[in-house]
Chains A and B, each alone.
Chain A
């Protein structure tokens, strides 16, 4: 069963009652919430995602709830709870769906150390993964959103999950988070892209999520082997330029953007070294998304 199979009433009842067991890549999140924004966000973004039965195993038990005091009506807020505990402060209520996304990312990067996890977007073409490690503001999500609307498969726009045993990347196809000007850029670039209403004044500015392509969601159990590590940088008015990056620097970039490199010790270094060894490493500067996509299509075609 997938989320689209549920009527909106069934979905809301499930979220308000026992919880919706939503599968995203290797993880099952049991999500509970009475907030309409959460139900609407899930219906919009997770339509193609599988729903698991209540008698199985859930990786995370999360809840999005309004506080039980005056804040319910006055400047309403929303809490994210993992297994009853709140790892972060509440946010304004209109940020409920982004908070679900950030909360799930937090669960994965803080608990799932079976993977070496890097803050990076990952897309795939012809069996090879393009890893875009970068701090926020580098334009990685814009590039990722551009590529997945031109035939690349989405693995993740936030978290590269590397299995240390196989060196492969595990898909985690979830909504793509776009910020500020990027939202308009992608609307123009891919008019078919489906967005939820933008949320303003978050800590990241204005945020909107784009629905992940259903084809990528259906292939969520197909891992990909690393093909390229590319350090993107968006710079207004810049020429499109792809230049080789020394492997040692590429490795340092991956380590710097990793959430749990330190925990993995020697094995973490070996995993990254193995990945870098077999991947093409580049730096990439861009300002025009059309040209950027052409560069990567050509890169994939050459391989």
Chain B
């Protein structure tokens, strides 16, 4: 029998101090798993913060340094891009709330260290959407999804505009008016998120979510996402946010209360459970208990553990557990189930399937 595949990335992130002693053959797997998971630069940042980066053997250290160079360049791009967005929206007179990666960078949070970015996410009040969209278009952002069905999908059902891409810089912005689709089962009130958001000192017109809301958004995003190839990266964001904000007295209590207020106890439960299971995030037992769904049978929790603990492995063959891809498929369906009521879901999946067949025929 072969040894069970090891998730080297989670082990490394949870216990970075042990890495200088890691055998080279394990580094061989760790670097590949971390690269596939978009966590190589994050690992470098964590090792640097612990002061052990210099003690890593030179061959794997070169890959860590290389990943840091890319991540740093991306971070500078994000800062420049946010400046462009702010300039474009000045005339619209709308304050914008930065979400996820951009918020971590501009808010100078440790979750920005070694993070890679694909696009910029912002949150604005729903009534401001038309003004924001036209202001961005006047400054060179153009719609990417021109199909009438896609337009309807985004504008009627989703929580964001179709992604806008800048015609020269090719950067993409997602303009959100909520953190979950209009059609989702959970209904967190975006007004409450905006009301509690914090102004960024020295950055007029820019805001970020309150600490509790930032954690809840991170968990909500991960545990409603149909695409989990970066699931472990998102869980690592959550781990770092929790470790950082929980140094503030009363944080856990506030977090649980806010989750109840925003209808987000389910994603918080999963977030705390798997961050602790996978990345050793120090979550106090009271908070864990408080976030647990009441009256849910133990067997269901164990079944979900079986799915999530597989799906949140690094997306690399050397880390895959048996039935890992089945788990991802089931969670893909679950995410759709949570995002849309059954009749809409059936319609949406039928349109997607028909289009895929049509594309194959054309090819």
Tell yes or no: A237 within 8 A of B by CB. no
Nearest neighbor of A165 in chain B, beta-carbon distance: B65
Contacting B at CB under 8 A, from A244-263, are: 260, 262-263
Nearest neighbor of A266 in chain B, beta-carbon distance: B76
Collect the chain A residues with CB atoms within 8 Å of residue B356's CB.
none
* Distance in Å: Cβ of B21 to nearest Cβ of chain A: 15
Of the candidates A26, A55, A83, A84, the one whose C-beta lies within 8 Å of that of B25 is A55
Tell yes or no: A57 within 8 A of B by CB. yes
Collect the chain A residues with CB atoms within 8 Å of residue B76's CB.
265
Supposing A59-B63, A61-B32, A265-B76 touch, asked if A114 and B69 sit within 8 A by C-beta, the answer is: yes
Contact B28 A56 (CB under 8 A): yes
Of the candidates A56, A58, A113, the one whose C-beta lies within 8 Å of that of B70 is A113
A227 to B17, CA, bound (A): 42
Supposing A57-B27, A58-B28 touch, asked if A263 and B63 sit within 8 A by C-beta, the answer is: no
The secondary-structure label for the interface of chain B is: helix
- How many chain B residues touch the partner (CB < 8 A)? 24
**Segment at the interface with A among B54-62, B184-192, B296-304:** B54-62
Contact A56 B24 (CB under 8 A): yes
Contact A265 B72 (CB under 8 A): yes
Collect the chain A residues with CB atoms within 8 Å of residue B72's CB.
265
A180 to B296, CA, bound (A): 72
What 0/1 pattern do residues 49 to 88 of A give for CB contact below 8 A with B? 0000001111101000000000000000000000110000
Of the candidates B31, B32, B57, B69, the one whose C-beta lies within 8 Å of that of A264 is B69
* Distance in Å: Cβ of A263 to nearest Cβ of chain B: 4
Collect the chain A residues with CB atoms within 8 Å of residue B23's CB.
55
Collect the chain A residues with CB atoms within 8 Å of residue B156's CB.
none
Collect the chain B residues with CB atoms within 8 Å of residue A26's CB.
62
Collect the chain B residues with CB atoms within 8 Å of residue A28's CB.
59
Collect the chain A residues with CB atoms within 8 Å of residue B316's CB.
83
Collect the chain B residues with CB atoms within 8 Å of residue A265's CB.
72-73, 76
Contacting B at CB under 8 A, from A27-50, are: 28
Nearest neighbor of A30 in chain B, beta-carbon distance: B28
Nearest neighbor of B31 in chain A, beta-carbon distance: A57
Tell yes or no: B66 within 8 A of A by CB. yes
Tell yes or no: A2 within 8 A of B by CB. no
Of the candidates A55, A57, A263, the one whose C-beta lies within 8 Å of that of B69 is A263
Nearest neighbor of A116 in chain B, beta-carbon distance: B69
Contacting B at CB under 8 A, from A3-32, are: 26, 28
Tell yes or no: B326 within 8 A of A by CB. no
* Distance in Å: Cβ of A164 to nearest Cβ of chain B: 9
* Distance in Å: Cβ of A79 to nearest Cβ of chain B: 16
Collect the chain B residues with CB atoms within 8 Å of residue A61's CB.
32
Tell yes or no: B282 within 8 A of A by CB. no
Supposing A84-B317, A265-B72, A265-B73 touch, asked if A114 and B66 sit within 8 A by C-beta, the answer is: yes
Max count, chain A CB within 10 A of own CB: residue among B24, B25, B28, B69: B69
What 0/1 pattern do residues 9 to 25 of B give for CB contact below 8 A with A? 00000000000000111
Tell yes or no: B144 within 8 A of A by CB. no
A263 to B67, CA, bound (A): 10
* Distance in Å: Cβ of B115 to nearest Cβ of chain A: 16
* 14 pairs, CB–CB < 8 Å, chain A vs chain B: A55-B24, A56-B24, A56-B25, A57-B24, A57-B60, A59-B59, A83-B32, A83-B316, A113-B66, A114-B66, A263-B70, A263-B73, A264-B69, A264-B73
The interface of chain A, by Cβ under 8 A from chain B, is: 26, 28, 55-59, 61, 83-84, 111-114, 260, 262-265
